[in-house]
């Protein structure tokens, strides 16, 4: 029987509403009743708020569950999108780490362990965060965004496992309980997801619940940080309270939903920590000639990810490094070694187009491959262009396709042609990126009016070089 993994997660973030401090234990009692684990993503300012209000009992209760990180102050300006708007992925990662280090260390200290995951504020998802997460030792990105959708299932992006794009397999519980029949709608929705996934090879379903919605009619941050404006602590305003009957109904319907999902024999509830093991892949540091054969066969025609053997996909960025490394080995002799070194860099930071001659010397392409490898080893991202002799500068996608064809000659035991025609490749994986969803994210009520960040969207597309599906090790 194929398993359907369900991950329930709470964003514990409201540091305005004192009454919200009492909510986690109510949810935990329901989950314990059905033996359901949960991942709680904590805003550092919420942790401070709990400490200042003498609520160590709440922190101790949360500590029994999986704990993730959800930014230092979440929606206080400048927000994530605001301070990343003009930065590339690597510069943004440094900025993110500098701004978030204090909050991250607080959560780590209070819960005596490294957070299992991270997620963005509101809809503000950006690739700049990922290199910083790697430095922080956070292995999972847990949230939800429609900006990237890879078959509505987990995926790898910038080398980090993402539970962040369930889309059709995403249920948000917030405010559904305002409708007396809300849970009926959600149960029907889950049943449809379940039946679709069970007919294939299983899959994952994401369930989000902001606990404060049970007592607040609006989000705490929309009221206090809306339209780009900050408030001091003294100015914080609690959102309008939910009527008592709505709050009561919320918990009744939450329990009904959990009980319903628990009734399916093929459902397994998991946390972010468990997902890291379920979707783990062996770290490969070398590739064989057979591996290179498969890579060049695919990437001489396409620049999208390669569905490799044993459900272990290969990203275009991995392929770029592998092909460049393979070609560069020819400088050491006339034959390829049995194995070549392998790694995954980030995508390029700037979008470029090929310029110069459309025919290049094969020997210049080999030399250029070595230069590209040296650049990636030093900078950990793809070059924005590859300089080939004195005749051409190739975009990364054009280099990947052209170099794959040249490496194919080598692997087939053929004599290298004197010159190669430069082949054109499409920007990798962009069909999985949704521009309309990004524009909608920029309209988040917390952001300043008419906020735009075209550079963030450019970086999203550029880092799609690293996109590839994630599969459970055994299912």
Write out pLDDT tens, residues 25-38: 999 999 999 999 99
Per-residue confidence (pLDDT) for residue 323, from 0 to 100: 97
Percent of the chain with pLDDT over 70: 99
Structure confidence at residue 1 (pLDDT): 66
pLDDT of 82 strictly over 60: yes
**147-184: pLDDT as tens digits:** 999 999 999 999 999 999 999 999 999 999 999 999 99
pLDDT-based confidence at residue 196 (cuts at 50, 70, 90): very high
Give me the pLDDT at residue 47, please.
Answer: 98
- Range name among 94-98, 239-243, 340-344, 345-349 with the lowest pLDDT average: 340-344
Domain borders along the chain are 4-280+433-469, 286-428
Q: Does domain 4-280+433-469 have CATH number 3.20.20.370?
A: yes
For position 84, what pLDDT does the model report? 98
Q: What is the tens place of the pLDDT at every residue in 4-29?
A: 999 999 999 999 999 999 999 999 99
Round to whole Å and give the CA distance between 319 and 414: 22
Q: Supply the DSSP symbol for 151.
A: T
Cα 383 versus chain centre, distance: 22
Percent of the chain with pLDDT over 90: 91
Separation of alpha carbons 422 and 388, rounded Å: 11
pLDDT at 282: 73
d(CA 144, CA 94): 23
pLDDT reported for residue 246? 98
Average pLDDT, the chain: 96
pLDDT band at residue 194, thresholds of 50, 70 and 90? very high
| DSSP letter, residue 353 | -
Q: What is the pLDDT of residue 164?
A: 97
Q: How confident is the model at residue 410 (pLDDT cuts 50, 70, 90)?
A: very high
Given a cut of 90, whether residue 473 has pLDDT beyond it is no
Q: In sequence order, what are the residues at sequence separation of 6 or more whose Cβ sits closer than 8 angstroms to the Cβ of residue 397?
A: 303, 316, 424, 425, 426, 427, 428
Among the listed residues 431, 5, 438, the one whose alpha carbon sits nearest the alpha carbon of residue 203 = 5
Confidence of residue 334 (pLDDT cuts 50, 70, 90): low
- Tens-place pLDDT, residues 106-162: 999 999 999 999 999 999 999 999 999 999 999 999 999 999 999 999 999 999 999
Q: Which residue has the higher pLDDT, 1 or 286?
A: 286
DSSP output for 329-352: GGGG-SS--SEEE----B--SS--
């Amino acid at each position: 029987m194929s398993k359907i993994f369900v991950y329930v997660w709470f964003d514990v973030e409201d540091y305005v509403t004192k009454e919200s401090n009492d909510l986690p234990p109510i949810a935990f009692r329901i989950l314990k009743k059905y033996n359901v684990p949960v991942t709680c993503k904590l805003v550092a300012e919420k942790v401070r708020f709990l400490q200042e209000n003498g609520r160590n009992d709440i922190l101790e209760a949360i500590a029994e569950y999986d704990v993730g990180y959800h930014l230092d102050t979440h929606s206080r300006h400048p927000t994530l999108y605001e301070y990343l708007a003009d930065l590339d992925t690597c510069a943004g990662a440094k900025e993110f780490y500098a701004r978030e280090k204090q909050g991250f260390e607080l959560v780590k200290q209070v819960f005596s362990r490294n957070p299992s995951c991270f997620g963005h504020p509101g809809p503000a998802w950006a690739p700049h965060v990922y290199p910083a997460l790697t430095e922080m030792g956070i292995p999972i990105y847990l949230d939800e965004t429609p900006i990237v959708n890879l078959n509505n299932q987990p995926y790898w992006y910038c080398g980090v496992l993402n539970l962040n794009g369930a889309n059709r397999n995403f249920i948000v519980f917030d405010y559904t309980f305002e409708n007396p029949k809300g849970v009926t709608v959600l149960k029907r929705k889950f049943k449809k997801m379940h039946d679709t996934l069970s007919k294939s090879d299983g899959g994952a379903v994401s369930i989000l619940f902001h606990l404060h919605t049970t007592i607040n009619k609006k989000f705490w941050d929309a009221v206090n940080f809306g339209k780009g404006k900050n408030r001091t602590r003294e100015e914080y305003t609690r959102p309008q309270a939910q009527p008592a009957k709505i709050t009561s109904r919320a918990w009744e319907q939450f329990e009904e939903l959990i009980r319903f999902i628990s009734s399916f024999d093929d459902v397994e509830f998991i946390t972010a920590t468990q997902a890291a093991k379920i979707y783990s892949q062996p770290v490969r540091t070398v590739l064989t000639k057979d591996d290179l054969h498969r890579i060049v066969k695919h990437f001489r025609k396409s620049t999208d990810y390669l569905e490799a053997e044993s459900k272990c996909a290969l990203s275009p960025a991995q392929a770029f490094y592998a092909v460049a490394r393979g070609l560069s080995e020819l400088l050491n002799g006339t034959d390829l070694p049995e194995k070549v070194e392998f790694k995954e860099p980030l995508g390029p930071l700037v979008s470029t187009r090929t310029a110069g001659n459309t025919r290049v010397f094969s020997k210049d392409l080999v030399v250029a491959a070595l230069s590209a490898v040296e650049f990636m080893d030093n900078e950990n991202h793809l070059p924005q262009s590859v300089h080939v002799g004195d005749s051409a500068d190739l975009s990364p996608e054009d280099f990947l396709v052209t170099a794959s064809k040249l490496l194919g000659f080598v692997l087939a035991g053929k004599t290298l042609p004197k010159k190669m025609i430069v082949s054109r490749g499409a920007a990798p994986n962009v069909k999985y990126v949704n521009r309309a969803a990004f524009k909608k994210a920029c309209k988040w009520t917390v952001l300043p009016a008419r906020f735009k960040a075209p550079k963030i969207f450019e970086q999203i597309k550029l880092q799609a070089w690293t996109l590839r599906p994630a599969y459970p090790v055994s299912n």
